[in-house]
Structure formats: C-alpha cells, structure tokens
Chain A
Amino acid sequence: MSKPHAIIVGAGFTGTATAHDLALRGFDVTVIERGDICNGTSGRTHGLLHCGGRYAVKDQESAIECIDENIILRKIVPGVIEPNGGLFIALNESDLAYRDAFIAGCQACHIPLEELTPAQALRLEPNINPKLLTAFLVPDGTFDPLRLALSFAATAKKNGAKFRTYSEVKSLILDGQGGVVGVNVLERASNQTHELRGDILVNATGAWAGEIAEMAGASVPVKPSPGVMVAYDQRFVERAINRLNTPGDGDIVLPQRRMVVVGTTSFEIDDLDYVPVLEEHVKLMLERGAELIPGIRNARVRGKYMATRPLISSGSGRSAARTFKCYDHKETHNVDGLVTITGGKATTLRAMAEGTADVVCRKLGINAPCTTKDVLLLSYRQYYSLPN
C-alpha cells in the first residue's frame, strides 16, 4: 500500500513540527512555503520558552500546555535552548497585589515556583531593578526561533519529508464537490507554476490561515495581532525577566546572544504582508523595559522589529485565548481534504503538531500514535545537508 500524501502549507513552527509528526507516523509529507523557513511570524518570535506563569491566572489551559511542552522541548531539542530559568519581579503595589493570584495559579498548573527576597534575586541577576519588592524563580527558558523550526524540519527531512521553499500556494485544486485534492504552486525561483496533489492539505499558514481557507470557500476565525520588539546591544541578564502582573505591553525582557530583547505590544492591522514598526511602540518598549532593567536606558538599540500573532478571535487583543485550534473543514464548512491549524505559541509547537496529526489520521482512518515526545531532534544544521 502506498503511503498517504500530506501537503502542508507554511513552514513556520506549526508547519515544520507537523511535518515532523506526520513523517514519523508514516506519511509522505511535502511542505510548501512561499519564502524560506520561518520568514513569517515564527522567525520573529520574541523567543520565550514559556513556563506558563504568564497565563497561570487568566488562561490556565494555555499555562498547563506551556509547562508540559517546556519540559519536553528542553529534552528533545537542547541545542537551540538557553535553559536558564526566569524571574517574575514585582516593582510596585499593583504588582504585589497580583502575588497571591500568581502563586495560586502556578500551583494549579503545576508550575514550579520559588519566591526570592530582593537580595537573593539581585544576587542572581545584578542588573534588574534594585527597587524590586519580591521575585519568583520559574523554569522559563529562551530559544533561537529559526533554529527551533529548523531542528523539526531537519528531522522531518531525515524521515522523508520534502521542503519546497520559495513556493507560494496560489489556489487550491478542488474535486468539483467542494473537496480539496491539491494545490497550484508558483515556484518563485523559476517563476513557474506546478500542481501538486495529496490526500490531505494541512493549512499551517498562521496569521495568513484565512487566505488559504478562503481559497476553498471556508474560513477561520483568526485575528492577526502584531506586536513590536526592540533588541538592545548588551546582555544584561541570563534569565527571562517578566513583570509580575496581568500580561501587558513590554513586560518581558529576554537575553539573546549579546543582546536583550524587550517585548511586546498588541495591535490590529489591515495589511498582513508588511506591518510597520510603530515608533510609539518602540518608545514604550524602552520605558517598560527600563523599569525591569534600568541599564537598558543607556544601551544602544540594535534592532526594532515586529511579528503578527495568529490569535483565535474569541475575545480581543491580549484577552483572546492563547491556545491553539485545529479545524477540520469538513465539520466547519463541509469542505473535505482540508485541515487548518492555527493560534498557539512557539512553546506549544509540538503539541499543536500532535493535535493536527491526530485529526489528519482520524480523517484518513489511519491508526498511528504520536511519538514526538520522545524523539530527540537532529541538529538544525542537518536541514541544509540532508537531501530534499
């Protein structure tokens, strides 16, 4: 019997992780990506390997997903992670008022937590605001976004997946009864159009998921919500520094290489393909970042950038759910052969892939369990050396 052929559109975190999962479950996988790996939202992710603390009060489903996946990723892809932990710090009375809810939330979500005195916290991280009132040590980490996705892609490739980059899906091939049976692809390196047929199409285009779904006459409730980040040229801390309060703008500072990066904001846009970096947001990052780490004020800006979250629109902005959703469009719009996976976070990419591959297997009547929790990923560099 020949293997079922899955076509995945999009090679961000979601697409590369899904390629890895489906390849392990015995699928022939082809990933179609219009740019190079991670040119969309994923490459520009802030880079926090969430421990879940950020969501522990208001969105416990996300928080539990985060801590569980955080532990798995540390194990399966150690070559791209700085596993140094994180601090949540309180700087004023409003932050302190959040303390009890934070402790209760973390306990409810099995997020390990240790409260430190200001002196203890300053010993660990001498550059944080010395006026802090209390601090919690948590198992956050940071990761290199491109290399995280490449590690999944490399391993998928090793298991037979093919990656067709610089290839844009222009339209879908329909079977005349509303079902999707393939894609029409523009290869940008040769300016030629090809068609590719498969048994199932996985739409993993993140913030662009609505555009692909629309090509089949379906839709998804994704609300693109961009955020701005600013990188400064000094590595002030080894850990992720979070503000102990309800999630807001500019309340996380992460170390990255010889930099720190302050993020982020949340706003709404019309054109997805180019989102400007708003100067007010850059100023806000400086103000908010310097509250956590005063030295940022005297550091030089190294990069200002933005990325667009594919939020599932059940609410608005930051209150929208941060978990992911997998839509079988047979169920939503009576369109067969098409599954959309969107929402979520970098931290939960493996779980998102597992959920999607489960739906794909169920639709095709294939009985193959997920094994990605235990498979150590190849070095990201192998993505470039393995044959396609």
Chain B
Amino acid sequence: MSEKWNITLKVSRQKEGETPHFDEYKMEVDPDEYVLDAVERVWAFMDRTVCFRHACHHSTCGACGMRVNNVEKLTCITSIRDMCQDGGTLKVEPLRNFPVISDLAVDMGSLYNRLEAVGARSVLPVPEAEIEKPASTWDPADQQYIRLADCIECGLCISACPSAATSSGYLGPAVLAGAQANGLKRNPELLQLVDAEDGVWRCHSAFECSAVCPSLVDPARRIMNLRTQVFTERFSRLFHKA
C-alpha cells in the first residue's frame, strides 16, 4: 500500500468580477502524487467549478504553471512530498503578471505574442538546443535531428521576475531567451526590439527566472549573453556605417 497523508489544499478562487479568496479542501493524498493530481481530484470529486489549465502532465506543454506555497512550480511534476508535510497545507495560486481568466487559469496571450515577435523557434536542430554549447563541439551526426526547443513556454519565469512585476511591457525572460537562441547575427532586425528599455535593459539580474525554470533554459544567462550580442551588433553597425 502506498503512503497516505491528510492535507489541506488551499485554492485561490476568483470568478469574473470577484476579488480573489481561498477555498479549502481537506483531502487524503499519496505524498508521491503531483500537486496537479490533487487539483484535478478537487475538480473531479469535490468542486466542478474550479478552473485550471493542464494538458500533458509530464512537463512538455507548459500549461499547468501555478504558485505553490509562494513558489512558481510546474504542478504536473511537483510532488506533494516536496511542498508540504502530512497534516500540512498546500496553497495554490495562479501565476503572477498575467491576467486571471478564472481561479488558477491565466491568460498567457502576452507571452505567446512576444515569443512570436522575436521569432522564438519551436523546433530546432538538436545541437542548437543545448545551452550555448560552442558550435565547434557539436557532433556533426546530431545536425540531422530536429527537436522541440527546451522552453515549454510555461511563463513561470515571468511570474517570478521582479522586473516583470514593475513593467507590463517588459518582454520578459522567456522571450529574451528566445531572441538569444535565435541570435541577433542571424536576425539583425530584432536589435530594435531587444535593445530597448523594456528589452534587455529592464532585467536587473535577479536570477529568479533561472531558479524557477523547470526546463533548464537558464534565461538569466541567456539575457546576459543577449546583452553581449547587442553590443556586438551595435558595434558592427557603427563599423559598417563608417
């Protein structure tokens, strides 16, 4: 028999026009279940009105991001054991810096629009998916393979970012990371978009994004690299004008 815990699931609730409040659900769980399983069971057996986003249940789609006990988590791979204790409370809230559709579901339109604007690639050759591995070390055999990018577009980094909280126009970590992976050299037209107040210069290097990213994208490091790319691109423009 698997282990059983009794926990209180505290769910942030907000319907159209309401201010948010919490509803509490007492439940018996297996601590090795994921937080998302507990939320889905509330919907299935206790309260059909709870709204939340989810699809793949194994960290490839990026739909189920929430704040769990005040930390951004992909709830489908976050076990209850990692977040609370037997008899404890699990607080789940929607991601910050996105409009709430209802309860735990947020509208991620701004993220998707901006990812499109910087041409963030959804699939790319396998070697390029690695974080800043020098091209000289690529295994030529891997060039033939295409794979889905690491960034699952979950928005956890945007929710955790203190700069995104201060400016709704800020492109945000995932988007700048997408621009970095795309490369200014290959896409010089992106310079204007990223070399702007709400682009790379809004980042204050809090590194919260890399801390919460469930997919090893390391947006903070990519933003630092993008700044270097910005200088290189500016410099090469000066040079070409002269």
Which A positions have Cβ atoms within 8 angstroms of B?
A: 35-39, 42-44, 47, 78-84, 144-147, 166, 168, 188-191, 229, 231, 235, 238, 255-259, 261, 271, 273-274, 277, 279, 302-303, 305, 379-385
Q: Is the CB of A305 within 8 A of B57?
A: yes
Whose C-beta in chain A lies nearest to the C-beta of B41?
A: A274
Q: Is the CB of B147 within 8 A of A82?
A: yes
Most chain A beta-carbon neighbours within 10 Å: one of B17, B55, B108, B122: B55
Distance in angstroms from B88 CB to nearest chain A CB is 22
Distance in angstroms from B219 CB to nearest chain A CB is 16
List 6 additional A-B contacts (Cβ < 8 Å) besides A43-B55, A145-B60, A379-B122.
Answer: A79-B122, A82-B146, A84-B147, A231-B58, A257-B147, A380-B122
**Per-position 1/0 for B42-68, Cβ under 8 A of A:** 011100110101111111111100000
Q: Is the CB of A189 within 8 A of B44?
A: no
Q: A residues within 8 A CB of B123? A: 78-82
Q: Is the CB of B145 within 8 A of A273?
A: no
Which B positions have Cβ atoms within 8 angstroms of A?
A: 2, 15-17, 34, 37, 40-41, 43-45, 48-49, 51, 53-63, 76-77, 101-102, 105, 107-109, 112-113, 115-116, 122-123, 126, 142, 145-148, 150, 152, 215-216
Q: B residues within 8 A CB of A381? A: 112-113, 115-116
A176 to B195, CA, bound (A): 64
Given A189-B102, A229-B58, A303-B59, CB of A166 within 8 Å of CB of B51: yes
Q: A residues within 8 A CB of B63? A: 36, 38, 43, 146
A231 to B54, CA, bound (A): 17
A379 to B113, CA, bound (A): 11
Given A166-B105, A274-B45, CB of A257 within 8 Å of CB of B61: no
Q: B residues within 8 A CB of A277? A: 37
Q: A residues within 8 A CB of B17? A: 190
Q: B residues within 8 A CB of A47? A: 60
Q: Is the CB of A144 within 8 A of B113?
A: no
Most chain A beta-carbon neighbours within 10 Å: one of B2, B102, B108: B102
Distance in angstroms from A331 CB to nearest chain B CB is 33
Q: A residues within 8 A CB of B44? A: 271, 273-274
A101 to B215, CA, bound (A): 42
Q: Is the CB of A302 within 8 A of B77?
A: yes
Q: A residues within 8 A CB of B116? A: 379, 381-382, 385
Distance in angstroms from B50 CB to nearest chain A CB is 8
Most chain B beta-carbon neighbours within 10 Å: one of A83, A229, A303, A380: A303
Q: Is the CB of A191 within 8 A of B55?
A: no
Q: B residues within 8 A CB of A188? A: 48-49, 51, 102
Q: Is the CB of A258 within 8 A of B150?
A: yes
Q: Choose one: B49, B56, B60, B112; the contact of A191 (CB below 8 Å).
A: B49
Q: Is the CB of A189 within 8 A of B16?
A: yes
A303 to B58, CA, bound (A): 5
Q: A residues within 8 A CB of B48? A: 168, 188
Given A79-B122, A380-B122, CB of A302 within 8 Å of CB of B56: no
Q: Is the CB of A384 within 8 A of B113?
A: yes
A188 to B104, CA, bound (A): 12
Q: Is the CB of B60 within 8 A of A257?
A: yes
Q: Is the CB of A274 within 8 A of B55?
A: no
Given A43-B56, A166-B102, A257-B60, CB of A144 within 8 Å of CB of B148: yes
Q: Choose one: B16, B53, B108, B148; the contact of A256 (CB below 8 Å).
A: B148
Q: A residues within 8 A CB of B148? A: 80, 82, 144, 256-257
A256 to B53, CA, bound (A): 21
Q: A residues within 8 A CB of B115? A: 381
Given A43-B61, A258-B216, CB of A305 within 8 Å of CB of B76: yes
A79 to B115, CA, bound (A): 14
A244 to B58, CA, bound (A): 26
Q: Is the CB of B15 within 8 A of A83?
A: no
Q: Would you list 23 pairs from A and B whose C-beta atoms are within 8 A, ordered by A residue?
A: A35-B53, A36-B55, A36-B63, A42-B55, A43-B61, A44-B56, A79-B122, A81-B146, A82-B147, A145-B56, A147-B122, A168-B48, A189-B101, A189-B102, A190-B16, A190-B102, A235-B147, A238-B147, A255-B147, A257-B150, A302-B77, A303-B34, A380-B122
A168 to B102, CA, bound (A): 14
Given A38-B55, A84-B145, A385-B109, CB of A274 within 8 Å of CB of B40: yes
Distance in angstroms from B61 CB to nearest chain A CB is 4
Whose C-beta in chain B lies nearest to the C-beta of A84?
A: B145
A81 to B56, CA, bound (A): 15
Given A84-B146, A166-B101, A381-B113, CB of A257 within 8 Å of CB of B40: no
Q: Is the CB of A146 within 8 A of B56?
A: yes
Closest 5 CB pairs of A and B: A43-B55, A303-B58, A305-B57, A189-B102, A274-B44
Q: A residues within 8 A CB of B54? A: 35-36, 39, 43
Whose C-beta in chain A lies nearest to the C-beta of B50?
A: A188
Q: B residues within 8 A CB of A235? A: 147
Q: Is the CB of A303 within 8 A of B76?
A: yes
Distance in angstroms from A147 CB to nearest chain B CB is 7
